[in-house]
Amino acid sequence: MRTVDVRIPEELRDKLKIIATLEKRDMKDILSELIDDYIERHKETLEILSNPKWVEMIKQGKREAEQGVKGKGLNALGNRGSR
């Protein structure tokens, strides 16, 4: 496994070191667990960004919003499947 340096404020490092000592765990294991949790919470975002069609739809929506194009209301969106 490759290693990388991560810079965190000294105060956070000191607190993490205390917790790791109390739990008898390595700081790297705690950080790995936190990173895994963070990635898991953002899994849907990664899925969306990996689909070029969805990314283009998001960009188009942002452009329309910036141009002041009025969006569809919830009623209009809800009726899409009932046609």
Find, among 29, 35, 5, 1, the residue nearest to 16 by Cα. Answer: 29
Amino acid 83: pLDDT: 46
Average pLDDT across each block of 10 residues of the chain; the chain has 83 residues. List them in order.
Answer: 90 96 96 95 91 90 89 71 49
Amino acid 34: pLDDT: 95
Q: What is the pTM of this model?
A: 0.58
Break the chain into its structural domains and give their ranges: 10-82
Amino acid 79: pLDDT: 60
Amino acid 76: pLDDT: 72
